[in-house]
A = this chain, B = another copy of it.
Amino acid sequence: MPEFQRPRGTRDFGPEEMAKRRFVESNMRETASTFGFGEVMTPTFESTDLFIARSGEDIVNEMYAFEDKGGRNIALRPELTASVMRFYVNEMQSLPKPVKVFYFGNMFRYERPQAGRYREFFQFGAELIGAPSIEADAEVIALAMQSIKSLGMDDAVVRIGHLSILQSLFEDIGVPENQQVACRRLIDKQDYDGLKNLLAEISIDNSETLIQIIKIKGGKDAIAQAQELTSAGEDGFTYLADLLNRLEAYGFSNCTVDFGVARGLDYYTGMVFEIDAPSLGAEKQICGGGAYKLADLFGGQEVNSTGYAFGFDRIMLALENSGVEVPSQKLDAYILPIGDSARTAATEILMKLRNAGISSDMDLMGRNMSKAMKYANNIGSQKVIIIGQKELDEKSVTVRDMESGEQELVPISKILDYNFK
């Protein structure tokens, strides 16, 4: 029994998993770069107040919040939008607009660990700050869709809503302003009974149209379907139709609307969207985002922003579930010097290969031939290079293909001509 365990709800990642995670991270970074977004990084902890300003006092109960030795209240970040907007307000407000940034980072939440929910988890997100809303919304949704398309995930579904539609529907049936966020949260959780009960409590009984509309999902026809049910929310419907057209020009012609997308947080202002990976089953959401205003809350000038965050751990799971091949790392060559006299020549060949970008390793354990072959097989090395006295005499090495079992004598001077990849 080991003496120390990792903290509850956290993970250790071994080499195979890390190679896959880094591949996906790089791929997403590359996509964001081709879209002209630049990466930013902020500290792992911030003033607790920053997160309270964004999410309300309750967030403290879900964070790793503590007092540092100087008596300051700090918290491990539970999300990154607040940090990025703090950075924007402090240092990027005077840059020419739009400011287009992305981030990849770890986040923390203090809650009961459960399947697929970790106390330390990872998100890949983007924020577009300071552009007119429809152009920004289209560009940001296109980036999100391109990010998963580039990873080979073909079955993802984006569902787009608009809070002005919900607001109009609320106003239409007389939901008072101070109850609208509570209603949005229930809609966000698809808790329709809860919504009916809440509305009944405040004596609103004509909620059928609202309930019907928030259940509508689909393409452009879904917009027409909703418009037939209500005369409210016209601006929002028109906006979404325009947005779908723009996304078509981006090459994403199968985006859908979903009038029940409500997002739980107060600061979302207009378009809101979510992306699902059907292969994940019930917990299928991999991305959430929308248009928001936060800069003024953090002491800056009010500015239009649109952003999203991908749950990185969910993406990894979705790729696995849908059978998308993510390359893991394999050793190209394992070098076995037979006897001490071969070690210097072996080291030189080793470095020749490594300098050419061929991942290679040398026996450090003094293994004999049969044990070395077993080991090379075990670590998945593609080739084994054997250097004994016979090979040294002929200024050559024996290269064994571990899959076919074929062996070949290759002159040391021509080792880089051999196809190791």
- By a beta-carbon cutoff of 8 Å, the part of chain A in contact with chain B is 1-8, 10-16, 18-19, 21-22, 26, 29-30, 33-36, 38-47, 49-50, 53, 64, 66-70, 72, 74, 76, 86-87, 89-92, 96-98, 100-101, 106, 108, 110, 120, 128, 131-132, 135-136, 139, 142, 146, 246, 249-251, 298-300, 329, 331, 334, 343-344, 347-348, 350-351, 353-354, 357-362, 364-366, 375, 378-379
Shortest distance between the CB of A202 and any CB in chain B (Å): 34
Bound complex: CA A4 to CA B3 (Å): 41
* Interfacial chain B residues near A40, Cβ < 8 Å: 12-15, 18
* Interfacial chain B residues near A70, Cβ < 8 Å: 8
Interface centre among A90, A146, A378 (most CB of B within 10 A): A90
Bound complex: CA A40 to CA B6 (Å): 14
A364 pairs with B136, CB closer than 8 A:
yes
Which 7 residue pairs spanning A and B have beta carbons closest together?
A15-B38, A3-B299, A36-B361, A10-B43, A66-B66, A249-B347, A135-B364
Q: Given A18-B41, A35-B359, A47 and B4 touching (CB < 8 A)?
A: yes
* Interfacial chain B residues near A251, Cβ < 8 Å: 348, 351
Interface centre among A29, A334, A347 (most CB of B within 10 A): A347
B132 pairs with A366, CB closer than 8 A:
yes
Bound complex: CA A96 to CA B106 (Å): 31
Shortest distance between the CB of A245 and any CB in chain B (Å): 8
Q: Which of B10, B12, B22, B38 is close to A14, meaning CB atoms less than 8 Å apart?
A: B38
Interface of A: prevailing SS:
mixed
User: For residue A351, which residue of chain B has the nearest CB?
Assistant: B251
Shortest distance between the CB of A403 and any CB in chain B (Å): 19
Shortest distance between the CB of A123 and any CB in chain B (Å): 14
B2 pairs with A36, CB closer than 8 A:
no
* Interfacial chain B residues near A53, Cβ < 8 Å: 3-4
* Interfacial chain B residues near A18, Cβ < 8 Å: 38-41
Shortest distance between the CB of A327 and any CB in chain B (Å): 12
Bound complex: CA A36 to CA B383 (Å): 13
B15 pairs with A364, CB closer than 8 A:
no
Shortest distance between the CB of A376 and any CB in chain B (Å): 10
A-B pairs with beta carbons under 8 Å apart, 19 shown: A2-B89, A2-B90, A3-B89, A3-B298, A4-B90, A6-B86, A12-B43, A13-B40, A14-B92, A18-B38, A35-B359, A35-B361, A68-B110, A96-B379, A132-B366, A139-B362, A146-B354, A249-B343, A249-B347
* Interfacial chain B residues near A135, Cβ < 8 Å: 364-365
Bound complex: CA A364 to CA B36 (Å): 12
